[in-house]
Amino acid sequence: MLAIAAVLFSVYVADVVLGALASTSFLTDVQEMLMLFAATIAFVAAILVREKQSKQ
């Protein structure tokens, strides 16, 4: 689950860096927002799963 969050965030960062350096990007504004939202949800889910495992 944490790997999914890392991949989604990496795609977002790659798009932002490409936009800053080459003035082009492969994601629209809405797609960037959804990518960041999905990365955040995956990260929170991974943290909650790890916390549950540590309490057992």
pLDDT at 3: 96
**Secondary structure, 3-state, the chain:** CHHHHHHHHHHHHHHHHHHHHHCCCCCCHHHHHHHHHHHHHHHHHHHHHHHHHHHC
Q: In terms of pTM, does the model score above 0.95?
A: no
Cα Rg for the chain, rounded, in angstroms? 14
pLDDT at 37: 97
Question: Mean pLDDT score of the chain, rounded to an integer?
Answer: 95
* pLDDT attached to residue 7: 97
The ranges assigned to domains in the chain are 2-55
Q: Is the pLDDT of residue 11 over 90?
A: yes
